[in-house]
Amino acid sequence: MQENKPSAEIHDELLQGLTAEGSAATPQGEPVDAVAPDTMPSIEESLRQAELKAAEHHDAWLRAKADAENIRRRAQEDIAKASKFAAEKFANAMLPVKDSLEAALTIEKQTLESLREGVELTLKQLAAAFQTAGVTEENPAGSKFDPNRHQAIGMVEAEGEPNTIVNVLQKGYLLHERVLRPAMVVVSKAKSA
């Protein structure tokens, strides 16, 4: 079996064979085309150029990897900030509502009518804040019961079609078409015979 020689030894043997005989043979005895001694610098120069190019590509890859890592980290920070401050717009819309309620509590002598007006104005401010945030009210009285949007807390015998909402105990709310809170309802059932 042929012993494994380091490539430097093989290279030296081939060069010695070229200079001594004009042609060379591999360690296995196969002939190798002669390489002129004057082409050796160009091979070495090609190798050096290839090594420089490999180093450039490696450096570019490392930079691209670092950029991708930075983008990933910044995206995670942006998501965390967005989650943390998601309610900022809604909170700003709620501040006037709170101010109105506090102002109502500071007035010492109020008539029932002025108190009612203040509560109505505060409720309008709250409704405007809800509308800005995409929160809509759902009062499903008289509509068909939908378990995805309503929470039935009772059933009563009633005229008309079964599974119809006959009483709304608590309104439901949607946030951009997603149920925020289901309406609490009483549903009709067919009269027993």
Q: Domain 135-193 belongs to what topology?
A: Nucleotide Exchange Factor Grpe; Chain A, domain 2 (2.30.22)
Q: Please give the DSSP secondary-structure letter assigned to residue 109.
A: S
Query: Residue 83: which pLDDT band, with cuts at 50, 70 and 90?
Result: confident
pTM, rounded to two decimals: 0.55
Phi, psi at residue 144, to the nearest 5°? -70, 140
pLDDT for residue 51: 95
Q: Express each pLDDT in 5-58 by its tens digit.
A: 666 666 566 556 554 444 445 555 555 555 555 666 788 899 999 999 999 999
CA-wise closest residue to 140 among 153, 151, 124, 156: 151
Q: Regarding beta strands 150-157 and 183-189, do their DSSP bridges make them parallel or antiparallel, or are they unpaired?
A: parallel
**Are 138 and 171 in contact, with CB atoms under 8 Å apart?**
yes
pLDDT > 60? residue 160: yes
**Are 155 and 189 in contact, with CB atoms under 8 Å apart?**
yes
Q: Express each pLDDT in 90-143 by its tens digit.
A: 888 889 899 888 888 787 777 888 888 888 999 999 999 999 889 999 999 999
Q: Express each pLDDT in 168-192 by its tens digit.
A: 999 999 999 899 999 999 999 888 7
Plot region of 143 (φ>0 → left; ψ -120 to 50 → alpha; else → beta): beta
**Are 138 and 145 in contact, with CB atoms under 8 Å apart?**
no
- What contacts 115, CB < 8 A, 6 or more positions away? 104
**Are 16 and 34 in contact, with CB atoms under 8 Å apart?**
no
pLDDT for residue 1: 44
Residue in this structure with the two tokens 């591999």, named with its chain if needed: 26
CA-wise closest residue to 144 among 187, 173, 176: 187
pLDDT for residue 105: 79
